[in-house]
Amino acid sequence: MLVVMEAPDWLTPQEQRAWRAHLAAHRLLFHQLDRELQGTGLSLNDYEILVNLSESPGRRMRMSELADATIQSRSRLSHQISRMEAAGLVTRQDCEDDRRGTFAVLTDHGWETIQRVAPDHVASVRRHFIDLMTPEQVSALEQIYTPIVDHLQAVRGTR
């Protein structure tokens, strides 16, 4: 049986430049923000978890929901939470209505940490990202990324 392969739908030169610019910007921005947070004793992943917990009712989230929100496997998140527990930033709490469920809970120390670190982190986000664009470009970026995020969340099964 002869199988006919279709030619790949290669990216155009402009699409290739846009894709590579996106990859480079994402990696460089993540690295820069993570590096600037290191002086606080947090990683960018730690910060993201603290933000999610600080914005949740009761400053707590089910571990499964937190894993989805931070795009981590349950196992990786569990290890991350263990490190953060050792630092006194979070604690685990059993779920009353589901014996298998566990909450990650922001401690008072975690709350104080996010309150202390957030202003400098936001300044870094502005300096290395937001302030490099016009308000119109920020709006366009939101319009560009929203359907991509929605699509990928649906593909991932987190929506």
Higher pLDDT, 98 or 132: 132
Query: Can you give the pLDDT at residue 101?
Result: 85
Examine the pLDDT at 28 and tell me if it is beyond 70.
yes
Contact 116, 50 (CB under 8 A): no
Contact 59, 106 (CB under 8 A): yes
Average pLDDT over residues 136-155: 95
Q: What percent of the chain stands above pLDDT 70? A: 97
CA atoms within 13 A on the CB side of 48: 15
Examine the pLDDT at 21 and tell me if it is beyond 90.
yes
Per residue in 61-115, pLDDT tens? 999 999 999 999 999 999 999 999 999 999 999 988 777 789 999 999 999 999 9
9 beta partners: none
Query: Can you give the pLDDT at residue 97?
Result: 77
The secondary structure of the chain in percent helix, strand, coil, rounded to multiples of 5, reads 65, 10, 25
Sheet holding 90-94, edge to edge: 60-62, 102-106, 90-94
Query: Can you give the pLDDT at residue 119?
Result: 98
Give the separation between CA 159 and CA 157, rounded to whole angstroms.
Answer: 6
Query: Can you give the pLDDT at residue 118?
Result: 97
Examine the pLDDT at 7 and tell me if it is beyond 90.
no
Give the separation between CA 41 and CA 113, rounded to whole angstroms.
Answer: 10
Contact 42, 117 (CB under 8 A): yes
Q: What is the pTM of this model?
A: 0.88
pLDDT band at 158 (very low <50, low <70, confident <90, very high): low
Q: Where are the beta strands (DSSP E) in 27-112?
A: 60-62, 90-94, 102-106
